[in-house]
Structure 1
Amino acid sequence: MADQGHDPAKARWAMLQLIRAGGLLFILGGMVILSDAIAGPPILGIGLLLIGMFEFFFLPVLIARRWKSPPE
């Protein structure tokens, strides 16, 4: 089978998964700070938690809409 070249859909899917993974790391960081496992101000934990939730749940949807092909 011949190589069909670069598939932009695979690259976009990978980018969305990396965004979700980054959001998950922010959420976990916020939870660790809020549970006092790591010293830090609570506002930092809340901020990380909120940013992570936005990045995990909403950012991939917004980016996917932008990448969506226009109807023909």
Structure 2
Amino acid sequence: MTSPTFRDQDETRARRRYMIMNVARLGGVALLMFGIAITQGVVDLPFALGVMIGVIGFADFFVLPLVLARVWKSQNSAAEDTPKP
């Protein structure tokens, strides 16, 4: 058997990161919908809590994937700077 090449490892890492970013977005949508349900009275919780959860979900949907991409990009550039044996 042949060992996986660097290209295969990079593709696997990219696929995993893409899935993580999409799960983060789906989590943001779920929080946003839950917050909307609270503010509309579907779920019996305080209105202010619904607004806070909705705002967090909104931010999670738009901001978290960008933060993850920035962290992963900095990890990639740091890994490229280290000498390979």
Could you list the runs of 4 or more consecutive aligned residues of structure 1 that deviate by over 6 angstroms after TM superposition? none
Q: How many residues align?
A: 71
Shift of 1:54: 1.1
- The one of 36, 50, 55 aligned to 1:45: 50
User: Which structure features the higher share of helix residues?
Assistant: 2
The two structures have a TM-score, normalised by structure 2, of 0.73
Larger radius of gyration: 2
Paired-residue identity, %: 29
Question: TM-score normalised to the size of structure 1?
Answer: 0.85
Higher relative contact order (Cα pairs below 8 Å, separated by 6+ residues): 1
CA RMSD of aligned residues (A): 2.2
Ranges in structure 2 where 5+ consecutive residues have no aligned partner: none
Q: Which amino acid aligns with 2:34?
A: G
Q: Which runs of 5+ in 1 are unaligned?
A: none
